[in-house]
Homo-oligomer: A and B are copies of this chain.
């Protein structure tokens, strides 16, 4: 686990378990666990979303919880991170200092 990209993936795993292990099923994020993870580990997401009120959070939880078990499992969490990463990529592509080569 020496390369930064491998470390980045390992960090995604350990961050999930840091919160999922707090209550209930050790391998799933409850609503409270997800809220704490977002608040402490992904403040940029809160900033992007702007409104972080309860209704907004419930909508997010509902979007992430594909199998509708009221918890977010690892696969759902990774899909979420993949979506945010694609958002980061679009932002990066729009950087005026980077130009497409054709």
Contact = CB atoms under 8 A, between A and B. Distances in A.
Interface of A: 1-17, 21, 24-27, 40-44, 74-75, 78-79, 81-82, 84-86, 88-89, 92-93, 98-101
A8 B12 CA distance: 8
B3 A41 contact: yes
Contact of A44 (B6, B16, B41): B6
Nearest to A21: B101
Copies of this chain assembled into the complex = 2
Contact of A4 (B6, B15, B16): B15
Interface of A is mostly: helix
A99 B2 CA distance: 26
B74 A12 contact: no
